[in-house]
Structures are given as C-alpha cells and as structure tokens.
Structure 1
Amino acid sequence: MSAALVLAASAPVPAAASPAAPDCAGLAGVRIPASVMSLPTSGGVVTAASVVPGGYCRVDADLHPVDPAAPAIKLRVALPLAWNHKALMFGGGGYNGTIPDVTANVPFGPADRPAPLARGYATFASDSGHQQNPASPPSLDGSFGVNDEALVNFAAGDALKKTRDASLFLIRRAYAATPTEVFFAGGSTGGREALVVAQRWPSAFDGVISAYPAWNNMAEILDLGYLAQVLSRPGAFPDPAKQTLLYNSVIKACDGLDGVTDGIVSNPGRCRFDPRVLRCPGGTDTGPACLSDPQIGAVTAVSAPFRWPYRIAGGETEYPGFPFLSGADMRTPFLGFGTTAPADPMPVTSGYGMQYWDQWVKYFLTRDPGHRALDVDPRRPGKWLARISALSSIEDRNNADLRPFARAGGKLILMHGAADELVSPYSTSDYYERVRSVAGPRVTESFLRYYVVPGANHANFGTPAFAASWDSLTALERWVEGGRAPAGQVVTDLAHPRTRPLCTYPEWPRYRGGDPDSAASFFCAR
C-alpha cells in the first residue's frame, strides 16, 4: 500500500515475520533520527515505554524543534500485544495542546464495535507541537501562536507529518515490520487535519476519515469574530430561555418536512424558518416567550453567510453561516451561543467559538495577550489586514484538488452533522462540491463518500437530537483493501433506539411508512 513507505532507518521486513507482541522494553530511550522525518526537526527521543493495563505497550516521545524557543511535539504510540499489521493516527481538537486518547474510537464511531486499538491497530497521535496551559479551558489555549514554528506545526499541519513519520519508525522498530495500511481519523480540528494529510501528503495515508472538518479555519474565525461583536451588542444576546424558544420553534416548523414528526429535521435545505415570527410586540424584549429586534438581528447574523470586503491570500471570500438548529439547542450551549454574551475579558460561559476568536486575536493576530478581541472588526480590520491575509495562507487548508490522493489509491470518508453548532455543515458541503468540480463526478465517486447526518451535532456533544454512530473504519477497510465502496450504510442513534439510512450527499432520509425508528422505513431522497 502507498503508506507502507520504507523508512531510511531500517530495511523492510515482511508483515508475516513480525512477532506476536511488540518489543516494548527495547523502545525505552530510543533516539528518533531527524532523517526519518520528511520535515525539519532536531530529531526525537522516547521518554517512556511500558506495558499498561489494557494489554498494550504505550510509548511516549518528544520530537525536538528546529527553533530552540519552540515547544517540542509530544506524541504517543499504542502498540497492541496482538497486532493486525495496520496503523491509525488520530487528529486533535480545537487548539490541540494535549495528546488525543489513543485508545478511543473514531469520530461518530460505533458503540458496539471495539475501538481501533482493541481491533489490533497500532494507534498514534500528538499534541501538534505545543502543550496546553492546564488552567485554560480544554482545547482553548492559543498562547503557542506567538512562536512561528509552533504556529506552523499546528495551523499548516507540519506536526502531522512529523508525528506520522516518527510513529512509523517506532512501530517498525517494535514489530520489525511495516504496517500494511495506515489510516487517519479526526473530527473538527482533527477533521481539518484529515483533509490536510490528504492534500499535502497524498501517499502518506491509505484511508482517511474526516468528520465535521474546520478546513477553512481562517474563514470561520472571521465569521466567529463578527458574531462575537454582534452578540456583544446591548440587548442582542438571546439568553438560554430564548435559545430554547428558537430551537423548539424551528423544530415545530420544519420537523415534518421529511414525512414524519420525530424531533429531527432530515431535510434542512427545505427548512425556511423566519425568526421574525418570534418578534416581541414593538420589537422590545418582553421576556422569554419572544425575541427582540436586536436578538432577531443576532440570530439572523448567525445563520447568514459572512462576507468580507477585502482579499486575503488564502483566497476565501466568505463563510456560509450556520443552520438555525445549530447553536440554539440548549442541550449543548457551550458549543453554540453560550449562556452569556461575549465581552472583554471573554467569559468562559460564552460560546466556544467566541473564546476561540479571543485566543486567536491575542496570540495569532496581534501576539499581544492584553489585546481586546472585540476591538478587532473582521469587516474592517485596518492595520491587521496584512497579518490576517498572511495567516489565511497558513490556516485555510482549502486545496480541493485531491486527485493525487486518489491516484495514490487513497479513500476518503467525509461526514458532518446537519445540526453542528461549531463548524457549519454548509462549509463541508462547499468543500465537497469544490472537490467534485476539480476532479469530476466519476473520479470523486471512485475515492470519496460524503454523508450529512440529520439531527447530529458537533462530536455528539451533550445530548444531540441524533447521536450518530457508524462503523466507518470497517467501511474504510473494505474500500481500501477490497475495493468495496460503502453502500447501503445505516447510522444508529446512541441516544434513542432508532436507525436511519446513511445517505450520500445531497440525499437525505425520507419517511416511506412503517416503524419510524427503523432505517427500513426511510429511503434516500434527493
């Protein structure tokens, strides 16, 4: 397979010759030569290696930077005692800064199937080249952005290839064999990283699972900055009760458009909800049963495309906005609007995206921790325009030409929840259409499947309307190893005893009659 590249440190050994268990003790203190990585580092070293409860060898290592002032990349490899001769890398989330759980499942993974490590995969991941301040909210520490090497490791994805190369070196060292396939799986920032590896290193991974990917990171950041300003205006922030009112009103208006009333809007493209139907008398806030004019303006801004009147080097011109269903569901307030309005300093009770914007302004844009994020206007950035443009060429990983990945035999499964609060599903649909436009329908069909899951939110956070669960890894294995493309797939709701057909975009599940909790009662409509 294309990912089973021979590393310079050792000669290939047939997979059949690998031992039943890894040489865990022999990895302690091992030096990782800079020459085994295709991007510049100062080499690395294994800092710990031991067999842990759960029956696998855990290996921790540091990859040293070129810039002495930059932090190391901290990585972890989990080596199963009974290896299946495959490897899988996990992506991160938010600003990263911690090593993802290498024993975990893939995004939207199945509850009734073992996680990759338990299936025999050697799994690995890294913190992407910086360590989060423990005092910061999880994945919301952007302070590493003041260092150029750390910023590029994270934002451009350089740490991904360094981690992959070093981890495969350790896997080969442990088993005296090369993996037959190497896969990547990630969601959100990790979904973006999944697209980065397919774009930048088309032969490095044989199969990729990208869920709710924040691929156009700069474009979304500019939209989040604009929304932070809108929601911070006097009287504009809809409190939790009003958010619940909005969500329930959208469900009531659009739930039945798929033929059944089940709390899920399966065809959001037909949902034409006008928040003005909730207007308070006279447009003045009179309580939780209505929205004031400023609040209607705010929720409309959230759902509308945000366009900026200037050019940036990354080439993006807008962010498509969010479905009305996305930040209004008070079962997941942290990811959407939050429970309090954005302000300076930014409250931890504001939405995740507002806090993300705050960190970006302080450490990526101005590199001034004291700078007030709400003082930067994404519509009129003034002296910050040149810096925004430069960062866009690093952060927006928007190369839609995946034909090299397809030619290398790579397969890509792309997924998004239709009610995502943090990364717009419209954005992922836009990327899919770009890929299809560049590669053509036939080539795209040969290597890419894209699914939008109705009712699913961001990473099954909180209590979504539909907690998506699907064995995408088995589907990817069959596609990569046997050429059997996914077909007739079914997605399970972990929060309710029900299933739905997993429809390829732009199709959606329409009720045909029968048990509304059974996928057999639906068909994929276009």
Structure 2
Amino acid sequence: MRASSPRLARLPGLLAAAGLLACLSACGGSDDHPASTNTTTATPPATTTPTSPTFAPAVLSSSVCSGLTATSIPASSISLPSGGATFTSAALVAATDANNLNGDFCKVLGTVQPVDGAAPVIHFEINLPVKWNGKFVHVGGGGFDGVLITGLDPMDFAPASSATPLALGYATFGDDSGHVGGITNGSFAANDEALANYGRQSLKKTHDVAMALMTSLYKVDKPLKGYFIGSSTGGRDALAMVQNWPQDYDGIFINRPALNYTGLRLSNVQLGRSLFLNNGAGWINPVKTTLLLNTVMNACDGLDGAQDGIISNVAACKAQSSAILASLRCAGGADTGNTCLSDAQLATVTAMANPLALNYALANGVTSYGGYNILAGMVFGPPYSASRNFGPNATGPTAPNYLAASSNSPNAYITGDQWMKYFITRNASFNTLTVDPANPGAWQQRIVDVSALTDATSTNLDAFFAKGGKIIWTHGTADEVVSTDSSIAYYQQLVAKYGQSGIDAAVRFYLIPGNGHGGTGPFIPSFDSLALLSGWVEAGTEPANNIVAVNTQTKAAVDTSPAGTAARPLCRYPSWPKYKGGGADPNLAASFSCSTQ
C-alpha cells in the first residue's frame, strides 16, 4: 500500500473550461486495505460549527450544473483502481417541480468505469443543493443491491413532517454497488471486481467522485462534516467505511446492520438444510408458523408488564424457550397435523434460534452468527411479514430443486443459495444443500477469503473514534432477516475492546422491541435520527438514554398491539421499556421506564 498524499485534479471538458478546480485529498492506496491497519491515534479535533461565517460556498447555477454533462473525473482522483468517472447527465431540479420535496438542487448521474472490461460499471447519483449547508449524507444500499440509491428519500424512521437531508441543505449521494439487478440476485458476484465493489469498494469510489465534484463546484477545500446512513446491507456499508476509511466521515447512523455478512449467508444455508433435507421433514407450513408465533406471544407478551402485542423483555422470553417448544411438540414427535410441531420441525426452530457455530474463523476472527428471536417475538409471516417465512405454499417444498418454484422456499434460503452459487462456488448449478456451514470442507478457504471482502466485523475503530466520530445504532428485536444478536455481539466486542466509558463517548445502541426488518413488525418508530447524529457530532449534544418514538405501523386487526397510536421509549442497550403499571396510559412513552430487570 502506498503512502497517502494530497492530490489536486482538474475536471476535464466543460467543467475545466469553467475554471472550477477539483480539490480531492486521495489516500493514494491501490488496494482496499484491511481495517487492522487503522491504528493511528490522535487527539479528537475541536468541534466545528457548520454555520461558521467563513463558510461561503459559490452559488450553484443552472448553467454550471448542466455544464457537467459528459465531463469526467480521471482515475487518478479516485483512490481505488478504476477507469475514471463520467457524468452522464446533470440538470437543475427546481423546488417548484412536481413531486420534488428536496428544494433546488443539481441532480448528477454518472458511472465509474471498471478496470476489468468484463465487470459492470458503478452507477451513482450525486445531488447538490443550491443552498448547501457544507455537509453531506452518503446513503447505503440493501440486500444484494443492484438498485441505484438516489439519496432523495427521507431517512429511516424520519417523521412524516420532517424534511429530507437534501432539503435541509446536505449534499447526498449513493450508487448501485457496481451492478444492476434485483436485491436477491447474486449473479454479479461471479466477477471479481463486481464482488469487490459490492463488498465496499463502490462506496469509496463514489465517495471520492462526490468529494471531487463538491469541492470543485462549491469552491471549498472540503466539506465541513460528512455522514453515512444505512440499514441492513446499508448498515454494513456504513461500518465498512469507518473501519476502512475513517477519515471520510464524522458520524454514521446504522439500522439492523448486516455486518457479519458471511455469517448471515451461512445461516441462510443452514435454514435451507433444516427445511429441505430429510425429505422436507423440517419444513413448517404457514398454519404451523402462525401457531408457533402465537404461542410465543401468549407466553411472553406480558413479561414487560403490558399486554400489547410487543415482547420487550426478550431475555425473560428466551428463558421460557424450552417450555414453549415442549408445549408445541406433537405426541411422540411425529407430524400429526396443524395443531403441533414434529421433532424435525422443532429442530428447524431450534436451529434458527440458536447461534450458528463455525469450526473455523471468518475475517477478523469471527466464529459464529447470532441466533434469531423466533422464540422471543420475531415476526415471520402474516400479518406483518407475509413475504418472509418458511415458504407460503401449503403443499410443501418441491424436491429436488427447491428453487424451481420460489414460493416454496423462504426468502432467506433464496439469498443464501445465490450467495453460495455466485460468491463462493461460481457455479450456477451448484447444490447448496450439500454444504454444511459449520464444516464446509473444500469451500472453507473460499468462504474465509470472501468474508474479508464483504464483512464489516473489525473492531478496530481507533482512527474513527480518535477524530471524534460518532455512531447511533438501532436494531429491532423482531428482525426476521438480520439477527438482532449479531448486533449485540459486535457491540459487546466493542465494549470489551474500548471499555464501557470509551464506547459511551462514541456509540449509542438502541434495541427496538416489536420492530422487524424494513416495514415489518407491530412497532415502527418515528424519530429524527439525523438531527440526533448531527447534534452529537457538531454540538456535543449526547443522545438521550431513551428516545421517545411514535409508532407508525398500521394496526393489524388480528393483533393486540397499540399500533398507530402508541409512543414508546427506545431504550439504550441493555435496557428495555417496562410498563410502570398502576393504570398508566400504555399509549404514552412516559408510562414506561427503561429497565434491565
């Protein structure tokens, strides 16, 4: 890896003709470096006031914006290997344009060319507000990506009445991770450069292009502050960036991050094996799935003091797992119908609930993946997660090709199968069910190698914390896609490394009872995460130990939750919201305290 050096680069074409200088401080590295090299320590910098009177960027005009079309940025201004970037279109969007909620801004679309001619390009969008506040928000993706992240949308959990980051004056940008396709289509990963781009490199390349563009057009040396926001794969994206390029960001907001990405995909494979091996004896139909979830809810709903369709005291619920499973067992263990679960079906539930232990180490020494809260309030099927379950077709799985009719396979197994076929074996006909995730045999080293490209599990955040970087982090306890326990495990590793006081100075982690993945679960909170993050970074205002959030989920007729009306505190881990009782109104956040008992 070459030493870092500042670099100035002029944008060619019309941009250069306009006399706009691109000032990009590039790291100069030729390879994506591992987080273990980020060992620099420094005194945290003084807080910068974003409204400093010395900040006076040039006015962004319509002619300057449109003049960007067909101009380019050389590969030398992008700190990872690429073929350079080209702006394919640029136009000023007026605040008065139909359906535009983002104010006046310059919308720039473009591509980053690959080094490998067989690899796809990276598509990006950069949005530059006419009234720039000097800051930016980089937005992460989801699933296998393949869809352009525009940076035009509100943040996760943003109140309906709040302005988007772009409307607030932040420059925003995102990309498609370097390929086009559905978020469950992993075929792009058969190409090495496309896989590396998805792993994290497309994010850095897009960031560098955005920095060159912003510093040139606004005529500043660098933005005042930079933030990354992302959920699921996007949460992994945010962590990967501050683990590898901590100098680029001042704060990140992450929700349900798929940080242990390889562990997640291995757990997907394990679920498929539980369901489909042994002639499909472990498969659980929709009726039995509902029976399972209702049994858990009936046993655990009141453990937090309130009968509201939300399990907040997850630890106490998990302590009853054995009794819950025993109550569901068919007499003799054989499948006798929809009123009980057979031993094979109970084994599927147990495999999902328990951590996946690996007999080898992934990148950064990871040897497990957290279990799911399927026995503690996880949503898996109707009414809040109809598309994610064990397979909605009541006739059961179709052997031997369980993907021939995708309705017979859960979404989780489909993604795990795609990962095994294209990330690992590069064989579209490979039978994923033949691989034991705990002991993958000949594929073990390949799995380890790929984990170094895709996972965000390094606990070395020295450089990010030293510069004053902050993390606000949420994860729903009802998440049916990414294990909540995978977030807890990583948080605990950070505490072990930096001490509780060290982590308290830089990280706020909140679990959200009843919240699933995306728009699932009986509780979807509403709060202004960007305001909390920027306030902490820029003014030193620490987020509260509990955040009052209003539920925005539409109430389902079949559940007893206070959806659509209730407010709850989001409690700082490891506490959870406990109902105070005494006739207090359960629709008020003040009727709950954050408890660890």
TM-score tier (shorter): over 0.9
* SS of residue in 2 equivalent to 1:440: helix
2:65 to 1, 16, 24: 24
**Paired residues for 1:204-243 under 5 Å:** 204-233=248-277, 234-243=280-289
Aligned to 2:415: 356
Aligned to 1:517: 587
Aligned to 2:141: 92
State the shift of 1:12 in Å: 6.6
Residue 335 (str. 1) matches residue 388 (str. 2)? yes
Contact 1:183 1:206 in 2 (8 A): yes
Specify the code of the residue in structure 1 equivalent to 2:591: S
Compare 180-189 and 48-57 and name the one that shifted more.
48-57
Go from structure 1 to structure 2 and tell me whether the alpha carbon gap of 1:417 and 1:6 turns closer, same or farther (over 3 Å shift). Answer: farther
1:281-331 per-residue CA deviation (whole Å, 9 max, x = no partner) reads 333333332212221111111111111223445522111210013253423
Contact 1:88 1:183 in 2 (8 A): yes
Residue 168 (str. 1) matches residue 211 (str. 2)? yes
Contact 2:381 2:388 in 1 (8 A): no
2:229 to 182, 185, 189: 185
Go from structure 1 to structure 2 and tell me whether the alpha carbon gap of 1:244 and 1:323 turns closer, same or farther (over 3 Å shift). Answer: same
Stretches (4+) displaced over 6 A? none
Residue 36 (str. 1) matches residue 77 (str. 2)? yes
Contact 1:333 1:351 in 2 (8 A): no
Residue 468 (str. 1) matches residue 525 (str. 2)? yes
Go from structure 1 to structure 2 and tell me whether the alpha carbon gap of 1:426 and 1:312 turns closer, same or farther (over 3 Å shift). Answer: closer
* SS of residue in 1 equivalent to 2:365: coil
State the shift of 1:223 in Å: 1.5
- Partners of 2:266 and 2:415 in 1: CA distance: 11
Contact 2:8 2:23 in 1 (8 A): no
State the shift of 1:475 in Å: 0.2
Aligned to 2:155: 106
* SS of residue in 2 equivalent to 1:428: helix
- Partners of 2:345 and 2:576 in 1: CA distance: 31
Aligned to 2:467: 408
Residue 248 (str. 1) matches residue 294 (str. 2)? yes
Contact 1:403 1:439 in 2 (8 A): no
* SS of residue in 2 equivalent to 1:97: coil
- Partners of 1:193 and 1:382 in 2: CA distance: 29
Contact 1:276 1:296 in 2 (8 A): no
- Partners of 1:489 and 1:373 in 2: CA distance: 43
**Paired residues for 1:379-394 under 5 Å:** 379-394=438-453
Compare 55-64 and 253-262 and name the one that shifted more.
55-64
- Partners of 1:354 and 1:508 in 2: CA distance: 31
State the shift of 1:71 in Å: 1.2
State the shift of 1:94 in Å: 0.7
What TM-score, normalized by structure 1, do the two folds share? 0.93
Go from structure 1 to structure 2 and tell me whether the alpha carbon gap of 1:143 and 1:342 turns closer, same or farther (over 3 Å shift). Answer: farther
Go from structure 1 to structure 2 and tell me whether the alpha carbon gap of 1:69 and 1:89 turns closer, same or farther (over 3 Å shift). Answer: same
Go from structure 1 to structure 2 and tell me whether the alpha carbon gap of 1:385 and 1:11 turns closer, same or farther (over 3 Å shift). Answer: closer
Go from structure 1 to structure 2 and tell me whether the alpha carbon gap of 1:386 and 1:68 turns closer, same or farther (over 3 Å shift). Answer: same
- Partners of 1:292 and 1:385 in 2: CA distance: 33
Specify the code of the residue in structure 1 equivalent to 2:260: N
- Partners of 1:335 and 1:415 in 2: CA distance: 21
* SS of residue in 2 equivalent to 1:502: strand
**Paired residues for 1:116-515 under 5 Å:** 116-132=165-181, 138-155=182-199, 157-177=200-220, 178-233=222-277, 234-271=280-317, 272-273=320-321, 274-324=324-374, 325-330=377-382, 331-340=384-393, 344-346=401-403, 347-349=405-407, 350-461=409-520, 464-487=521-544, 488-495=546-553, 496-513=564-581, 514-515=584-585
Contact 2:106 2:129 in 1 (8 A): yes
- Partners of 1:153 and 1:377 in 2: CA distance: 28
Specify the code of the residue in structure 1 equivalent to 2:392: T
* SS of residue in 2 equivalent to 1:77: strand
Unaligned runs of 5+ in 1: 133-137
- Partners of 2:463 and 2:389 in 1: CA distance: 36
Question: What percentage of aligned pairs have identical amino acids?
Answer: 40
Specify the code of the residue in structure 2 equivalent to 1:204: D
- Partners of 1:338 and 1:213 in 2: CA distance: 24
* SS of residue in 2 equivalent to 1:162: helix
- Partners of 2:328 and 2:57 in 1: CA distance: 68
- Partners of 1:183 and 1:391 in 2: CA distance: 27
Computed over aligned residues only, the root mean square deviation of the Cα atoms, in angstroms, reads 2.0
- Partners of 2:325 and 2:494 in 1: CA distance: 34
Specify the code of the residue in structure 2 equivalent to 1:511: Y
Go from structure 1 to structure 2 and tell me whether the alpha carbon gap of 1:472 and 1:311 turns closer, same or farther (over 3 Å shift). Answer: closer
Contact 1:345 1:372 in 2 (8 A): no
- Partners of 2:459 and 2:244 in 1: CA distance: 11
- Partners of 1:115 and 1:390 in 2: CA distance: 39
Go from structure 1 to structure 2 and tell me whether the alpha carbon gap of 1:444 and 1:280 turns closer, same or farther (over 3 Å shift). Answer: same
Q: Report the structure number with the largest CA radius of gyration.
A: 2
State the shift of 1:91 in Å: 0.3
Specify the code of the residue in structure 2 equivalent to 1:385: Q
Contact 2:90 2:107 in 1 (8 A): yes
State the shift of 1:440 in Å: 1.4
Contact 1:88 1:123 in 2 (8 A): yes
* SS of residue in 2 equivalent to 1:168: helix
- Partners of 2:363 and 2:132 in 1: CA distance: 45
Go from structure 1 to structure 2 and tell me whether the alpha carbon gap of 1:476 and 1:311 turns closer, same or farther (over 3 Å shift). Answer: closer
Contact 1:460 1:468 in 2 (8 A): no
